Amino acid sequence: MLKLRSGRTLYYGKGDVLTYRTYAKPLSVAAVPESSYTGDSNVIFAHNVTFAVSGEQLLTSFTEGDNSLVVATDSMKNFILRNTAAYEGSTTEGLLAFISRKFMDRYPHIDAVELSADRIPFHTLEVASQAGEGLEPSPLVYRRSHNDHASASMKLVRKDGAPIIESHECAITDLQLIKVSGSSFYGFVRDEYTTLPESYDRPLFIFLDIFWKYDRADDAVDAGLGNYVPAEQIRDITHNVFHEMKSPSIQFLIYQVGRRILTRFPQLAEVRFESNNRTWETIVDNTESDPAGVYTEPRPPFGFQGFTMTQEDLISDGE
């Protein structure tokens, strides 16, 4: 939230700025054992941007109706679109930093910028090879995905006249993962309020958002430094841990995912989870002799979990 030095909240901005950039700089990253992802061609580099500004000199626009220093939100939209074309990097985080710094350079009375972007994912499609040798990815046709997606948020403020990154957070959101066997939930408090039966092997369906911060924000902004962590590798690590573990709870599962992420990426200072239990309601249970079962959507309300981890957790665990 953007505030003035007095502590008063003051901001305005533009949301749902849709930018569809083509042929951005390709991204290349080192592989990790849990993922085949090593980069993105960035043929379609698309985002939904939210952009807000604040400044001491904007106070009179609220208190006196003085618009002399107000940059219209339509102008903000055009600024974002034009400078998306000028961006020479390959990451969402780099795009946010680039647009913010350019905006604060252009409008020196703006003291702070806070912005976020959801990456709009487009996936390649396979088409018949022109050489007649099976299928190959099309370099021209892509499919819009409405599944999990990467995002980032950032706040820049002036320090000694120059914009610096005060805070940042990266994310992959809307993961929806079902494990059909190998999860349990038992041993919890049982008293007069308890109606939930204990479960020793249940299908576990979770909705999951994962957020992370770097120790050095520059590693998020500039993939050329070699420490950029792509959301796709965070996603694939999560898939692997979910597959490997016999988890006694969602809480323990996300802790193990966090440990693996922080181990793989020591350049990250923090990883944060927001999870939601959407485990199906059992209609026909499976048995040892017959694995078939029938389930339906769970009825609300839904349980949720939140958890933050840092590199200190690995130290306390003796790693």
Active site residues: 14, 73
Helix (H) / strand (E) element for 160: namely: none
* Tokens (6 digits) for 133: 């040798």
What string of DSSP letters covers 250-300?
HHHHHHHHHHHHHHH-TTEEEEEEEEEE-PPEEEE---SS----EEEPPPS
With CA atoms as reference, report the closest residue to 37 among 150, 203, 120, 206.
Answer: 150
Buried (b) or exposed (e) across 159-198, using 16+ Cβ within 10 A? eeeebebeebbbbbbebebebeeebebeeeeeeeeeeeee
Strand-pair category, 44-54 with 112-119? antiparallel
Which region holds residue 130: left if phi is over 0, alpha if psi is between -120 and 50, else beta?
alpha
The runs of H, that is alpha helices, within the chain are 59-63, 73-86, 92-106, 217-221, 231-244, 250-264, 311-316
For the record, the structure tokens of 79 come out as 């600024």
Give the chain's end-to-end CA distance (angstroms, integer): 36
Judged by DSSP in three states, 74 sits in helix
- Compute the distance between CA of residue 14 and CA of residue 80 in angstroms, rounded to an integer: 10
What does the alpha-carbon distance between residue 115 and residue 173 come to, in Å, rounded to a whole number? 17
Q: How far is CA 291 from the centre of its chain?
A: 35
Rounded distance between C-alpha atoms, residue 100 and residue 96, angstroms: 6
